[in-house]
Structure 1
């Protein structure tokens, strides 16, 4: 699959999920770079920067994407020869993909420890990391039950309930607006994240902040499961994460909308949950309170202060 095909599939959400987007981006950069036959290093680096921009424009909210691109491209930018650049590109991309896959299993180990035998869990959207925690708890012999939301308008909840069903976990499928109604029966809420800011706020699928508010009101703990490359370095300098707004056709068919001249469909794909509503963030490095988000950016993502400027 070419870099441009990958970009199109990320943009159309055929490739979805922050972790998968990051892995596909790293793979696309590697294959694109190895297919180039430039005359000199500067030309190769320029072509790789152009390829990076193509990927970066696809999904503005998924911070895993620029983090993956930055991790892979840092080595390309520092290379001394074309051969060195291609070798480092391949090695770094492969290492990132492997680490990304291994991160989920590590998160599952840590996350399972925070799930008790007999717990009823609510989850929202289709988070690979959040589901891994739930499935690992089930595999550890804990009797658990899950409430999974439908996740309008793209209905990612259908993927979630299939995954839980195949794992043999008792699951109730509910409409998004029923989260408050069932929260009194829930012991723990677990979501994923598309981005985590320096102050510990979490950007995730639209509806997450409402669930977090319900959980806070009900004194139900909320855990966020996320790989370290979902933390947003540029929020250190005050940058706000761009919230993607999807096409209106995802909500209403264009044939219906054309007769509603005074109606505009708004379709934000994500919302922001304040750190105050989050009890714990589970990463592959361990569990941290939201206020420690900066340590992940500084110590594990390797961003230097001048890169925030």
Structure 2
């Protein structure tokens, strides 16, 4: 069999047509293969590439004068090491040497200045992102001496959180306005039905300045103004005394039908969802939820209640005391222990300050966290809410509209010790935000119990439209 003739390209490739040469044979001898010795092949390969670089020339010189013994190789390595140290020391000396000719004065970096300004702007925006939510401003009572004394007293109770809960606040506002209507005497040149609207406006603004009105109170005021407008449109005009009595009767009727009787019907509908052995979790305090628990105990249901509470109002304490006095087993914990409490809970009952048009619930802050945690554990979340709290408003977060509470109520932790954040106003980068409400999305709400039945939360716009169309609310 003839030996193949290797071409130049085949010789250049170490893997084609060449036998394998061991490491020992390469360094301890000068073996030859087709085309010449290894040194000849390397020399020819370097000349064919035409490389004029210093690295190629050094490689050729090394291959031309390659050490063959261990002592020679060690001497060559030592020489290369010394040369490398000289090159490094020379480079360091040239770098550290002072060069006055190349020294330039510092120049302001426009990019860095721009980034600093942008950071300051972002910090300002973070501080002002909730500036549209203003703290209640206590107006000067000396400048409002013309207001009804009942309104002044109510504003003081609201500002001190002596009256809490949407139902309690709505009833207090309506009863106060009923007293204002009863005592109001219009001027001689004006009728009662036309002057009463103008007379109530400063009272409403005064209450609004003392504490931000909840959505349910706004619905009540909107309904009251509509009743007044309907009286103005009556022909022939209604006498002053008749108009006064009509408004008072309408207010009493609203409180009786839309709040008092509604709570009775909600309790009647909600107890069907409570079974013997249930462990029901609730958050803060809701008057209608309290009524549901008392009604369930009255008809003989055996159940237990877990009250979840949060600072600074700690409304759940009053609910827990009331339930224990009526013989209902209760457990009390703060919202930080929500997941521990949900291990034994079977249902969640909560109240709501308003049901929005997209089915979300506007309630005491912390309600959304409880609903989300319960949904995570696949526990049904049931809201108890009167239909007068259904509003024609859509809100997907808690920042667009909310109520700011007093920040000092979060700072104060004990009456006997100095709070840790007592000097928080002197801290430049610290601010305290005390929001009162949050929004629970509809996907975390299983059902809403109302006086007209148990409905899905997505039916809220239908309920609002029907009541506005037929009942005039």
TM-score, length-scaled by structure 2: 0.60
Q: For residue 103 of structure 1, what is the aligned residue in structure 2? A: 262
- Please state if 1:170 is matched with 2:322: no
- The CA distance in 1 between the partners of 2:182 and 2:201, in whole Å, is 14
Q: Secondary structure at the match of 1:244?
A: coil
Q: CA deviation at 1:87?
A: 2.0
2:180 aligns with one of 32, 36, 39: 32
Task: After superposition, give the CA deviation of every residue in 1:174-230 in whole Å (9 maximum; x if it has no partner).
Answer: 111111122121100011001110111001111111111111111000001011111
- Counterpart CA distance in 2 for 1:61 and 1:53 is 10
Count of residue pairs the alignment pairs up: 303
Mapped partners of 2:304, 2:255: distance in 1: 32
Q: Does 1:221 align with 2:380?
A: yes
Could you give the per-residue CA deviations for residues 217-246 of structure 1, whole angstroms, max 9, x where no partner exists? 11000001011111122449xxx9721110
Distance in structure 2 (CA, Å) of the matches to 1:136 and 1:304: 29
Deviations 1:277-302 (A, max 9, x none): 00011111111101101122111255
Contact between 1:75 and 1:89, CA under 8 Å: does it hold in 2? Answer: yes
For 1:126-141, list aligned pairs within 5 A. 126-141=285-300
**Offset at residue 255 of structure 1 (A):** 6.2
Partner of 2:162: 14
461, 466, 471: which is aligned to 1:294?
Answer: 461
SS at match of 1:233: coil
How far off is 1:166 after superposition? 1.7
Task: Map 1:76-225 to 2 at 5 A.
Answer: 76-79=228-231, 80-81=237-238, 82-99=240-257, 100-225=259-384
Contact 2:158 2:211 (C-alpha < 8 Å) held by counterparts? yes
Moved more, 75-84 or 217-226: 75-84
1:19-75 superposed Cα distances (whole Å, 9 cap, x missing partner): 011111111111001111112233232102333333445543622211122222322
- Which one has a bigger Cα radius of gyration? 2
What is the rounded CA distance, in whole Å, between the counterparts of 2:321 and 2:448 in structure 1?
25
Distance 1:303 1:193, change over 3 A: farther
1:280 matched to 2:447: yes
Question: What SS does the aligned partner of 2:411 have?
Answer: coil
Does structure 1 residue 244 correspond to structure 2 residue 403? yes
Distance 1:220 1:117, change over 3 A: same
Question: Relative CO higher for 1 or 2, CA cutoff 8 Å, sep ≥ 6?
Answer: 1
Structure 2: any 5+ residue segments left out of the alignment?
A: 1-148, 232-236, 413-417
Q: Secondary structure at the match of 1:48?
A: helix
Q: What's the TM-score, normalizing by structure 1?
A: 0.91
Partner of 1:259: 423
In 1, are the aligned partners of 2:411 and 2:422 still within 8 Å (CA)?
Answer: no
In the TM superposition, what are the counterparts of 1:34-49 in structure 2 within 5 Å? 34-39=182-187, 40-41=190-191, 42-49=194-201
CA contact (8 A) 2:155 2:211 kept: no
Q: In structure 2, how many angstroms separate the alpha carbons of the residues matched to 1:290 and 1:38? A: 44
Report the equivalent of 2:15.
none
Where in structure 1 are there 5+ consecutive unaligned residues? none
**Against the structure 1 CA distance between its residues 64 and 88, is the aligned structure 2 distance closer, same or farther, given a 3 Å change threshold?**
same
CA distance in 2 between partners of 1:56 and 1:299 (Å): 29
Deviates more, 1:271-280 or 1:64-73: 64-73
Between 1:274-283 and 1:143-152, the stretch displaced more is 143-152
| Alignment partner of 1:268 out of 422, 427, 435 | 435
